[in-house]
Amino acid sequence: MNGKPQLPRIALDAMGGDNAPDEIVAGAVLAQREGLGTMILVGDQARIAPLLAQQRATEIAIVHAPSAVAMDASPSQALRGSEETSLGVAIALVRDGEADAVVSAGNSGAFLAIALIRLRTIPGIARPAIAVVFPAKYGPVVVLDSGANVDCKPEWMAQFGLMGSAYAQAVLGIANPKVGIISVGEERVKGNAQTIEAALCLDRTPINFIGNVEGKDVFMNVADVCVTDGFVGNVMLKLSEGAATLIGGIVVGELKGGGLVTKLGALLVRPALRRVREKLSYDSYGGAPLLGLKGNCIVAHGRANRHAIRSAIRAAVAEVKEDVVGRIGELVSGLDLSAVREA
C-alpha cells in the first residue's frame, strides 16, 4: 500500500442529457485530468470508446449498458427495464459499492424514481429533495426542494431544512447555516397552512431556523438555506434561469448595438462581464445534489456541456469527501417529525 487516499469513484450516465454522450465524455475527461476522481462512464460502449480514443483518455473505464432512459419517459416507464439502461446501471454501481457517487444529466424524474428504489432513503427521511445552489450577493444559497416533490407534507419540508443545513455546512463551509422557509411575508402568521405547519416543525429541529423569508430575500443571503416544496422551488429555479438569460441578452444587445464609445467601453469591462457571466451560469454550479438517499446522487442540467459536467462531478466529489449522507443521518437520528407535527 502506498498510503495515498483513494480518489472518489464517480459513475456517469454517459447517455443522459441533450448533449450525450459527447459532452458527458468530454466532461469526464476534464475532471479526471484535473485529478478530481476516478471516472466510470456507463452507456453504449460502441459510442463511448471512440470518443475516449479521440481524447486519448484510455485510463477511463467504461461499463456497458445497452439502452438509455428517454428524456420524456415517465418515472414508471423508466423503472421498467432500468437494469439495462445507463442510468439504472450507474445507480446500481453506487448501491453495490463499486462507485461512490452517480452523476446524470438525463431524465430527473427517472433519476429520482430509480434511485429511490435502488438506494432507498436515509432512515428518518421520508422523501429525497433536489438542492439547487443559487448564486447570491454574499455567497451561495441552497434552495430545496427544487423539483423532486411537487406536493409535500409539512414534516417533509422540515426534513428538507435538516438536509439543506447539513449540505451547506459540509460542502459550502458555512459553520451555522441560517435556514428559512419561503413564504409570502416575513411574519410567522403569513403563508398557507402547509408553510405555517412546516415552520412549526422546523422550530423544533436542531438547526438554526430563522423563520419566514420572501422570494426577494433569496439573493440577499437573508438565509443560507431556503426551504420550500418542489412546485414552488422548481418555479423559482426556472424563473431565475430565465431572468439571468434575459439580463445577459439585454446587456450583450446594448453593447453590440451601441456606438464606437460603447464598444470601446465594452472592451474595457469585458473581464468583469465574464466574471458576472460565470457567477450566473449553471455551468459554474453544474449539478444539484439529490439529498436524502443512501448514496451520493447529482442531478446535472439537461443541457449540460462539458464544463457543466465537470462542475457536477466536482459537486459529487465534495459530497463524497464531506460524507453528506452520514451527516444527514446524524441530524435525523432519533428525530420523529411526525410527532413534532402533532405537538
Locate the domains of the chain by residue range.
Answer: 1-119, 127-287+324-343
Sort 20 into a burial class: Cβ within 10 Å, 0-12 / 13-18 / 19+. buried
Quick one: pLDDT at residue 1?
Answer: 41
Question: pLDDT (tens digit, 9 = 90+) per residue, 142-194?
Answer: 999 999 999 999 999 999 999 999 999 999 999 999 999 999 998 888 999 99
pLDDT single digits (tens) 304-325: 999 999 999 999 999 999 999 9
CB 306 within 8 A of CB 26: yes
Superfamily (CATH) of domain 127-287+324-343: Isopropylmalate Dehydrogenase (3.40.718.10)
Adjacent-strand bridge partners of 182? 213
What's the CATH fold of domain 1-119? Isopropylmalate Dehydrogenase (3.40.718)
pLDDT in the model for residue 100: 97
Distance CA 37, CA 320 (A): 11
Sequential DSSP letters for 213-234: E-GGGGGGTS-SEEE--HHHHH
Q: What is the pLDDT of residue 250?
A: 77
What is the pLDDT, as a whole number, of residue 270?
Answer: 64
* Cβ 297 vs Cβ 130: under 8 Å: no
Query: What are 182-240's pLDDT values in tens digits?
Result: 999 988 889 999 999 999 999 999 999 999 999 999 999 999 999 999 999 999 988 88
Between 72-76, 247-251, 287-291, the lowest mean confidence (pLDDT) is in 247-251
**CATH topology match: 1-119 vs 127-287+324-343:** yes
Q: What's this model's pTM, rounded to 2 decimal places?
A: 0.87
For the cut 50, the answer to whether the pLDDT of residue 297 exceeds it is yes
Spatial contact of 99 and 11, defined as CB atoms under 8 Å apart: yes
d(CA 7, CA 89): 21
Give the pLDDT score at 247.
Answer: 78
